[in-house]
Amino acid sequence: MTLPFYKMQLAGNGFILVDLNALEAGKTGPSASNTETLEPDDFGQAARILCSRKFGVGANGVIFLAENNTIRIFSPRGKPVYPADDAILCAARFAFDTGRVASGRIEFSTIRGPLSLDVLGAHQFRLALGSPFSLLNGALIGKDCNKLVETITHEGAEIGCSAVHIRQDVVTAFPRSLGTLDFTGFSALVQQAFPDKTIIPVIAHSITADTIILKTRPRLESAVCASAAAALVTAVCSGLSDHEILVMFETPGTDGQPDAIIAQDRDNTSRLAARWDTEENELFVVGSGGYVFEGKFDLHTTSAADQ
């Protein structure tokens, strides 16, 4: 079948969105291009094919979205994933643009039940992430979190580090000066420290009390949102920031310069606002996914009976 899709991204974390309504529309009318049906049982196999960077489109996940905002998200291995916050913000952008918004909220039906986002403005969606937890002992992190951040020394410079779980496992480093920590080397250190876990390494630099720039490589379904929230928690517990910040993600060629990041960020998808309500102990991010391109893919799935 010919499968129409949108390639979307949030801070470089890419997803393929399949509008199931458009797929059904392509089966009717004199110019119908599809005679096959993509059933829910086919989603996993379709995701594996589409996410392939050599033979498919290439992505970190696939979003299947129905007209009634029923949403299913699959990993490149063809497994359903939840939560998938980065993918949800991409789906929210598409749902908003196609008029699937009711009373300032976008309601999705997921495999775990209903999920809603607040619409704060054009392409500004607020998503709740829950509470932060310590990656080391599993304890809930609250507003009295002065023991969360540990100070290590690297090349003579002091670096504040924290290990937290917010949807994903994240280790964040806050060097006191630029250029003292190489991302590749830091990633290797993190992997050595947590050999049995999939960790998101993040290097953060405070530009002002309410602006932070992150260097990371988001490749998981919630990596961007989790990185932003983890950086906020670490900054608050280090006394570097208040409970609401702007998080900017470093992109190639910007060298961590805010003006360069903004100049490249044409659709505001390389930055998120992050807020920590310490009274309710709830983390929020505000942002939007963006479009990379629109395309069609000749998809051939094999049913279990044919295998």
pLDDT at position 146: 72
Asked if residue 272 and residue 198 are part of one domain, the reply reads yes
The pLDDT-based confidence of 307 (bands split at 50, 70, 90) is very low
Q: Which residue has the higher pLDDT, 46 or 151?
A: 46
Asked if residue 27 and residue 104 are part of one domain, the reply reads yes
Please state whether beta strands 199-208 and 168-175 pair in parallel, antiparallel, or not at all (unpaired): parallel
**Tens of pLDDT along 289-305?**
999 999 999 998 775 44
Asked if residue 21 and residue 50 are part of one domain, the reply reads yes
In three-state secondary structure terms, 255 is: coil
Q: Which CATH number do you get for residue 264?
A: 3.10.310.10
Owning domain of residue 61: 2-123+290-306
Instruction: Specify which residues 107 forms β-bridges with.
Output: 116
Asked if residue 136 and residue 246 are part of one domain, the reply reads yes
Q: How far apart are alpha carbons 239 and 57 in whole angstroms?
A: 43
pLDDT at position 305: 44
Asked if residue 253 and residue 215 are part of one domain, the reply reads yes
Round the average pLDDT of the chain to a whole number and report it: 90
Q: Residue 185: which H helix or E strand, with range?
A: helix 183-193
Q: Please check whether residue 166 is in contact with residue 127, taking contact to mean a CB–CB distance below 8 angstroms.
A: no
Asked if residue 140 and residue 70 are part of one domain, the reply reads no
178, pLDDT greater than 70: no
Asked if residue 61 and residue 174 are part of one domain, the reply reads no
HSE, CB side, 13 Å, CA atoms: give it for residue 120. 11
Per-residue pLDDT, averaged over 132-146, amounts to: 88
250, pLDDT greater than 90: yes
Asked if residue 166 and residue 111 are part of one domain, the reply reads no
Q: Which phi and psi (to 5°) does residue 129 adopt?
A: -110, -5
Q: Please check whether residue 246 is in contact with residue 207, taking contact to mean a CB–CB distance below 8 angstroms.
A: no
Per-residue pLDDT, averaged over 265-288, amounts to: 95
C-alpha Rg value of the chain to the nearest Å: 20
Asked if residue 31 and residue 156 are part of one domain, the reply reads no
Q: Please state the separation of Cα 124 from the chain's center in Å.
A: 15
Percentage above 90 pLDDT, the chain: 70
Asked if residue 239 and residue 152 are part of one domain, the reply reads yes
Q: Please check whether residue 61 is in contact with residue 91, taking contact to mean a CB–CB distance below 8 angstroms.
A: no
Asked if residue 72 and residue 214 are part of one domain, the reply reads no
Burial class (CB in 10 A: 0-12, 13-18, 19+), 275: middle
Per-residue pLDDT, averaged over 267-271, amounts to: 94
- What pTM was computed for the model? 0.92
**Tens of pLDDT along 185-230?**
889 889 988 999 999 999 999 999 999 999 999 999 999 999 999 9
The pLDDT-based confidence of 24 (bands split at 50, 70, 90) is confident
Per-residue pLDDT, averaged over 74-92, amounts to: 97
Asked if residue 254 and residue 154 are part of one domain, the reply reads yes
pLDDT at position 180: 67
pLDDT at position 32: 52
| Structural tokens at position 114 | 């209903």
The pLDDT-based confidence of 27 (bands split at 50, 70, 90) is low
Q: How many structural domains is the chain composed of?
A: 2
Q: How far apart are alpha carbons 188 and 192 in whole angstroms?
A: 6
Please give the full DSSP string across 205-226, using - where no structure is assigned: EEEETTEEEEE----STTHHHH
Please give the full DSSP string across 1-70, using - where no structure is assigned: -EEEEEEEEETTEEEEEEEHHHHHHTTSSTT----S---GGGHHHHHHHHH-TTTS---S-EEEE-TT-B
Q: How far apart are alpha carbons 257 and 213 in whole angstroms?
A: 8
The pLDDT-based confidence of 238 (bands split at 50, 70, 90) is confident
Q: How far apart are alpha carbons 69 and 189 in whole angstroms?
A: 41
99, pLDDT greater than 80: yes
144, pLDDT greater than 70: yes
